[in-house]
Amino acid sequence: MAWILLIIAGLFEIGWPLGFKLASMHSKYFIWFIVLSILSMGLSGYFLYLAQKSIPIGTAYVIWTGIGAIGTDLLGILFFLYLWLRMA
């Protein structure tokens, strides 16, 4: 169960940079995307807290940041590059 919580934490870790990026792109919905970022940060930290009760913190932190970094990178490449190419 702790590993599932850790994966969920990592997925929420992807949400906050996504929210910041969307807030910078869409000024009309700025506040909603900032709220998305804040919620994602809180939930990510909470699920990491729950997971690290059973998983050593070093291991949990590496997996958590890895999911967040790789997920954010892939999302940026696949989604935002696609949008940029469509605008060009």
33-85: pLDDT as tens digits: 999 999 999 999 999 999 999 999 999 999 999 999 999 999 888 887 777 77
Burial class (CB in 10 A: 0-12, 13-18, 19+), 7: middle
CB 40, CB 12: distance < 8 Å: yes
Instruction: Record the pTM.
Output: 0.84
Q: Where are the alpha helices (DSSP H) in the chain?
A: 2-25, 30-51, 57-75, 81-87
Phi, psi values for residue 68, rounded to 5°: -65, -45
